[in-house]
Amino acid sequence: MTPIFFDHISTTPLDPRVFAAMRPYFTELYGNPSSHIHDQGQEGLKAVDAARSSVAALIGAKPGEIVFTSGATESNNLAVKGAAGASAEKWKHIVATEVEHFSVLNALIPLSNRGYEVTLLPVDTDGKVDPEDVRKAIRSDTLLVSVMHANSEIGTIEPVAEIGRIAKGRGVLFHMDATASAGHLPLDVGEIGADLVTLSAHNFYGPKGTGALYVREGVALESQIDGGFQERGFRAGTENVPGIVGMGAAAAIARDEREGWAAHLRRLEGKLREGVGKTVEHLHFTGHPTDRLPGHVSFWVEFAEGESLLLFLNVHGVMAASGSACSSNLRGHDEEDLVASPVLRAIGVPSDICTGSITFSMGKGNTEGEVDHVLGTLPGIVKRLWEMSPTYLDYQKKKA
């Protein structure tokens, strides 16, 4: 059978319509938007402007509030470091959560080395941050609150609108990492009250290497890349025109089709969730049961290690992801890179019985038949690992 891709949280396939839109901008319309004195440059500028409008429309923003970047990692870095760099000395405090992406958490490290204080808020066992905790954490010197819209590993949607209201009420900037949610969940920057929003094209059927940061009109940021004056001075460097065109096309498609995708994915999610819950013993779902990304099912299984599950699934034609202790960075340079998932730690999963969660993240192209295949395969794989596991043996002896 054709391999089944259930790892859309890592990336999505480029929509063929997006590819078609991008194509001319490689070989025919190759102009540099900064050289708009001539026709080729004009074409480039027009294309970037059209894409800017399209991305803005996806999130209820004005075109002038969209800054194109190389992706979510750069956007998160620009948001966090850029806000700090542009603010006066007295704003020295940043609030984020324990479950933010590494591109937020690690961007905070050089800031704390420079004297910024960082408060990392805990989450509950469903992975949600309590808006009250945000309210309590904000101080007179708080510059920024950074909370993700939805978590890629456990799927949980955070109460961002409440957090946005709290931040606004206290005059604090609110950055929202919408990498996993944009194009999949309703997202209106005005309703949420966000000042900075991170977007990634390849997470909604656009190309890799292109992202954007929404920067609310009037918000100051220090550019993290020195050079020319592209992107209103927020991001130097010749624009990735084909990538930006692709992101614009993907945003337009998502705007039209998002609700249909979500309905389809909720059906698949319900079927997969119910199925694995019934057929696999000792299975624990992670994340919020209902407030979650559509098509996202995540769990861990006692006595079965995450990477082994993924390897067996791959052999059976199923590609999934894990935040497992062992597999999180297999291509790292040494064992220091083998860190347990901070997200699993944050939601209080006991480390002595869990070394890996499985994340099935489905996309618009997945089918019920593929869910059936996974449901037919997973119980046997789990059983095979249990039969090899000394901890399962001990458990059974204890039970007997």
Partner 1 sequence: MEKGEAAMSTGPYSAKVMEHFMNPRNVGEIENADGVGEVGNPACGDMMRLYLKVEAGRIVDAKFRTFGCGAAIASSSMLTEMIKGKTVEEAQAITNQQVAEALDGLPPVKIHCSVMAEQAVKSALDDYAKKHP
The residues annotated as belonging to the active site are 326
CA atoms within 13 A on the CB side of 106: 6
CA distances, 388 to each of 320, 383, 384, 394 (Å): 22, 9, 7, 12
CA distances, 39 to each of 43, 121, 232, 248 (Å): 6, 52, 22, 21
The answer to the question of residue 370 lying near partner 1 (CB under 8 A) is: no
For partner 1, the closer CB: 299 or 392: 392
The answer to the question of residue 367 lying near partner 1 (CB under 8 A) is: no
- Select from 125, 329, 367, 396 the one that contacts partner 1 (CB under 8 A): 329
How many Å apart are CA 96 and CA 29, to the nearest integer?
Answer: 42
CA atoms within 13 A on the CB side of 189: 29
The answer to the question of residue 300 lying near partner 1 (CB under 8 A) is: no
For partner 1, the closer CB: 161 or 326: 326
The answer to the question of residue 307 lying near partner 1 (CB under 8 A) is: yes
Helices within the chain (DSSP H only): 16-22, 24-27, 39-58, 72-86, 102-113, 131-137, 160-169, 189-192, 241-279, 306-315, 342-346, 368-388, 390-399
The answer to the question of residue 326 lying near partner 1 (CB under 8 A) is: yes
**Cβ 5 to partner 1 shortest distance, Å:** 13
**Cβ 399 to partner 1 shortest distance, Å:** 17
The answer to the question of residue 220 lying near partner 1 (CB under 8 A) is: no
Q: Supply 237's token pair.
A: 């460097």
**Cβ 379 to partner 1 shortest distance, Å:** 17
**Cβ 4 to partner 1 shortest distance, Å:** 9
**Cβ 47 to partner 1 shortest distance, Å:** 37
The answer to the question of residue 391 lying near partner 1 (CB under 8 A) is: yes
**SS3 for 117-131, per residue?**
EEEEECCCCCCCCCH
**Which stretch in 101-109, 209-217, 331-339, 360-368 sits in contact with partner 1 by CB under 8 A?**
331-339
- Select from 64, 270, 332, 348 the one that contacts partner 1 (CB under 8 A): 332
DSSP structural state of residue 232: G
For partner 1, the closer CB: 220 or 315: 315
The answer to the question of residue 316 lying near partner 1 (CB under 8 A) is: yes
Q: Supply 270's token pair.
A: 């319900």
The answer to the question of residue 325 lying near partner 1 (CB under 8 A) is: yes
How many Å apart are CA 351 and CA 361, to the nearest integer?
Answer: 23
The answer to the question of residue 398 lying near partner 1 (CB under 8 A) is: no
- 13 burial level (CB within 10 Å; 0-12, 13-18, 19+): middle
The answer to the question of residue 372 lying near partner 1 (CB under 8 A) is: no
Here's the x/- map for partner 1, 250-289, by CB under 8 A: it reads as ----------------------------------------
**Binding stretches for partner 1 (CB under 8 A):** 1, 3, 303, 305, 307-308, 311, 314-317, 324-327, 329-335, 337-338, 340, 351-353, 355-356, 387-393
